[in-house]
């Protein structure tokens, strides 16, 4: 069988697979080829997905041939015949929605609305104020802080020492539900990228802050035009 889904393109996400399943339900038992108008429409839609902007520059990305191939994969999952090319995501989506075309249609319509909405929104709602070190360091700092691995390591280390609390305002989560209690916390790097230089973050370089204090601290750094310790930021922001 021709392999048209490869070429180093990113794996199909759940949203995309749901859109394909919706089309499959509309068209089954007939599975159209890449020349079909509805296949081409779905291809065009998938290429507009906000987080696929970079991948969409490749011509092979979610092209009509790839969409037609995905419909074949879904038929394989649905019928249980010839499962060689079926992905884990195909299986999961079929397990969840294979018996529910109505729900699939609802999800698919919601995603379609979401794609249009994302296109009409500005790239970010509010551009973060810039640190004194400039835009690039600010952006890298923020990106590094969003790295879930360092946050998870920090949370695990803090949990070993007792209940979680914010290093700036000492606030505790109200929730005793383990799945929810860490939702309000973020990791803050004490040094800007340019000064630390290290590629690997050491736990000693990060503090645990509630989202509110983290925002305040970043703002205080930009207002004062210099890096502030947690103690300094607490004074500046009038928390004590
Ligand atoms: Zn706090
Ligand atoms: Zn921070």
SS3 string, 118-175, reads HHHCCCCCCCCCCCCCCHHHHHHHHHHHCCHHHHHHHHHHHHHCCCCCCCCCCCCCCC
- Ligand in closest contact with the CA of 218: 2
Any domain includes 148: yes
pLDDT, tens digit, for every residue of 161-185? 888 999 999 988 877 777 788 889 9
Least confident piece of the model among 38-42, 171-175, 223-227: 171-175
Does the pLDDT of residue 131 top 90, yes or no?
A: no
Does the pLDDT of residue 239 top 80, yes or no?
A: no
Most confident of 11-25, 124-138, 143-157, 217-231: 11-25
Q: Do 57 and 104 lie in a common domain? A: yes
What share of the chain in percent tops pLDDT 90?
47
Mean pLDDT on 6-26: 90
Contact criterion met (CB below 8 Å) for 194 and 166: no
pLDDT of amino acid 5: 47
Q: Ligand 1 center to residue 209 CA distance, Å? A: 5
- Ligand in closest contact with the CA of 211: 1
pLDDT of amino acid 236: 82
Mean pLDDT on 140-165: 88
Any domain includes 183: yes
Q: Do 176 and 149 lie in a common domain? A: yes
Q: Do 146 and 232 lie in a common domain? A: yes
Q: Ligand 1 center to residue 182 CA distance, Å? A: 13
Give 39's pLDDT tier (boundaries 50, 70, 90).
very high
Q: Do 115 and 25 lie in a common domain? A: yes
Q: Do 94 and 185 lie in a common domain? A: no
Domain count, the chain: 2
Any domain includes 175: yes
pLDDT: which is higher, 65 or 119: 65
Q: Do 27 and 77 lie in a common domain? A: yes
Give residues whose Cβ lies within 5 Å of ion ligand 1: 166, 168-169, 171, 210, 213
Domain end, chosen from 93, 120, 147, is at 120
Q: Ligand 2 center to residue 207 CA distance, Å? A: 9
Q: Do 146 and 108 lie in a common domain? A: no
Any domain includes 7: no
pLDDT of amino acid 97: 97
CA distance readout (Å), 98 to 33, 68, 73, 87, 162:
22, 18, 13, 15, 45
Domain end, chosen from 60, 90, 120, is at 120
Q: Do 52 and 103 lie in a common domain? A: yes
Q: Do 100 and 164 lie in a common domain? A: no
Q: Do 111 and 190 lie in a common domain? A: no
Any domain includes 53: yes
Mean confidence (pLDDT) of the chain: 85
Domain end, chosen from 86, 120, 154, is at 120
Q: Ligand 2 center to residue 172 CA distance, Å? A: 19
**What is the model's pTM?**
0.65
pLDDT, tens digit, for every residue of 42-100? 999 999 887 776 776 788 899 999 999 999 999 999 998 877 778 999 999 999 999 99
Residue ranges making up the domain that contains 115: 14-120
Mean pLDDT on 153-159: 92
pLDDT of amino acid 2: 41
What is the C-alpha to C-alpha distance for residues 56 and 41, in angstroms, rounded to an integer? 15
Q: Ligand 1 center to residue 122 CA distance, Å? A: 29
Give 21's pLDDT tier (boundaries 50, 70, 90).
very high
Q: Ligand 2 center to residue 202 CA distance, Å? A: 15
Q: Ligand 1 center to residue 67 CA distance, Å? A: 47
pLDDT of amino acid 7: 59
Q: Do 171 and 196 lie in a common domain? A: yes
Instruction: Count CB atoms within 10 A of the CB of residue 111.
Output: 17
Give 1's pLDDT tier (boundaries 50, 70, 90).
very low
Q: Do 86 and 157 lie in a common domain? A: no
Any domain includes 50: yes
Any domain includes 9: no
- Ligand in closest contact with the CA of 213: 1
Any domain includes 6: no
């Amino acid at each position: 069988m021709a392999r048209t889904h490869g070429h180093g393109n990113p794996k199909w996400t759940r949203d995309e697979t749901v859109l394909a399943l919706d089309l499959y339900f509309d068209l089954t038992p007939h599975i159209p080829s890449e020349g079909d108008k509805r296949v081409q429409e779905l291809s065009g839609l998938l290429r507009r997905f906000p987080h696929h902007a970079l991948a969409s520059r490749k011509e092979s990305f979610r092209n009509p041939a790839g969409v037609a191939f995905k419909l074949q994969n879904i038929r394989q999952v649905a019928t249980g015949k010839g499962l060689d090319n079926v992905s884990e995501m195909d299986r999961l989506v079929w397990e969840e929605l294979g018996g529910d075309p109505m729900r699939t249609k609802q999800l698919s319509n919601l995603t379609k609305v979401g794609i249009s909405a994302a296109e009409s929104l500005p790239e970010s709602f509010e551009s973060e104020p810039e640190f004194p070190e400039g835009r690039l360091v600010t952006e890298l700092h923020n990106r590094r802080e969003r790295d879930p691995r360092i946050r998870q390591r920090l949370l695990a280390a803090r949990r070993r020492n007792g209940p979680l609390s914010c290093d700036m305002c000492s606030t505790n989560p109200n929730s005793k539900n383990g799945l929810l209690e860490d939702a309000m916390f973020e990791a803050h790097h004490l040094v800007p990228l340019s000064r630390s230089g290290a590629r690997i973050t050491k736990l000693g370089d990060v503090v645990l802050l509630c989202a509110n204090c983290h925002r305040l601290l970043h703002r205080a750094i930009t207002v004062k035009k210099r890096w502030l310790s947690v103690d300094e930021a607490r004074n500046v922001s009038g928390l004590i």
